[in-house]
Amino acid sequence: MNAGLRPIRSYVLRQGRVSPAQQRAFETLWPRWGLSYAPGPLSPAEWTSLFGREAPLVLEIGFGMGEGTVAVARGLPHINFVAVDVHMPGIGSLLKQIGEAGLENVRVMRHDAVDVVEHMIAPGTLDGVHIFFPDPWPKARHHKRRLIQPAFAELLASRLKPGGTLHLATDWEDYAIQMLSVLRAVPALRNTVADYAPRPDYRPLTKFEQRGLRLGHGVWDLVFRKL
Ligand SMILES: C[S@@+](CC[C@H](N)C(=O)[O-])C[C@H]1O[C@@H](n2cnc3c(N)ncnc32)[C@H](O)[C@@H]1O
């Protein structure tokens, strides 16, 4: 990792209980849908061959249990998705859902997305980046662990193609404010709206989010475009 990027990780690797179904999904489906980390950028031809077709490429960082990933990938079948997380139960859960749905347009990675973006994705490769509800790290002394920081935002922008979009969502107002100020400071990015964007149709409303909205909690979407 270069000096500009945080040596501090945005997650804590918890053991987490992997259910027998998640473990089985991992063993049987990883060979078909998993993508192992390698510290060198994939060429456009390698991305095409990985998916068996040429299509716009969107990176999702931090998919949790993967319900959102599956909904988005089903709704946007013309897009190739690379979904990255570090959390083993979630990897098993997403693979299981992909297998059940027979989704051809998703590949799953188990690795720190900061390394993936820095080392596996060449500049100007991505048509989009989705980061939905990244860990909020609410305590002030943990804010340094938040994923959306100036150096990482610059790195993400460099990996987007001109016209590509960076879509973030959070339900923590102070993190939304931080996201807005961090993204606004990246010269290669432009906000698509004045500040927070309406939720794009492709991002499904999760149960958790519906409940939060009923309780009067806010959700903030940010959609920036690469110049
Ligand atoms: C709060 S969860 C949100 C999950 C999901 N996007 C949702 O909306 O329900 C954040 C996820 O980001 C993952 N995460 C955090 N830092 C990461 C990193 N550097 N690389 C990959 N995944 C990361 C965590 O493991 C966790 O699953």
The string of pLDDT tens digits covering residues 138-185 is 999 999 999 999 999 999 999 999 999 999 999 999 999 999 999 999
Residue 5, pLDDT score: 56
Task: State the Cα–Cα distance between residues 91 and 23, nearest whole angstrom.
Answer: 9
Which residue CA neighbors atom 24 of ligand 1 most closely? 62
Cα 87 to ligand 1 centre (Å): 8
The mean pLDDT value for 89-102 works out to 97
* 37 close to 116: Cβ distance less than 8 angstroms: yes
Share of the chain above pLDDT 90, in %: 89
48, pLDDT greater than 60? yes
The mean pLDDT value for 191-207 works out to 95
Residue 7, pLDDT score: 74
Cα 11 to ligand 1 centre (Å): 8
The domains of the chain are located at 20-226
Of 186 and 214, the structure prediction assigns the larger pLDDT to 186
* 93 close to 70: Cβ distance less than 8 angstroms: no
Which residue CA neighbors atom 9 of ligand 1 most closely? 64
Burial of 148 (0-12, 13-18, 19+ CB in 10 A): buried
The mean pLDDT value for 83-110 works out to 97
Q: Model-level pTM? A: 0.96
Cβ < 6 Å from ligand 1: which residues?
10-11, 61-64, 68, 84-87, 90, 112-114, 132-135, 147, 206
CATH fold for the domain made of 20-226 = Rossmann fold (3.40.50)
Residues 6+ apart with CB under 8 A from 4: 151, 154
Neighbours of 49 (CB within 10 A): 12
Residue 6, pLDDT score: 52
Is 127 tagged catalytic? Answer: no
Residue 4, pLDDT score: 56
Residue 1, pLDDT score: 46
Shortest CA distance to 57 belongs to which of 37, 78, 81, 74? 81
The string of pLDDT tens digits covering residues 4-29 is 555 799 999 887 899 999 999 999 99
Cα 113 to ligand 1 centre (Å): 9
Residue 209, pLDDT score: 86
Q: Which of 61, 111, 206 to mutate to test the pocket of ligand 1 (most atoms within 8 A of CB)?
A: 61
Nearest ligand 1 atom to the CA of 112 is 20
119, pLDDT greater than 50? yes
Q: Which of 112, 115, 127, 135 is catalytic?
A: 135
Cα 32 to ligand 1 centre (Å): 23
SS3 per-residue string spanning the chain: CCCCCCCCCCCCCCCCCCCHHHHHHHHHHHHHHECCCCCCCCCHHHHHHHHCCCCCEEEEECCCCCHHHHHHHHHCCCCEEEEEECCHHHHHHHHHHHHHHCCCCEEEEECCHHHHHHHHCCCCCEEEEEEECCCCCCCHHHHHHCCCCHHHHHHHHHHEEEEEEEEEEECCHHHHHHHHHHHHCCCCEEECCCCCECCCCCCCCCHHHHHHHHCCCCCEEEEEEEC
pLDDT, the chain, mean: 95
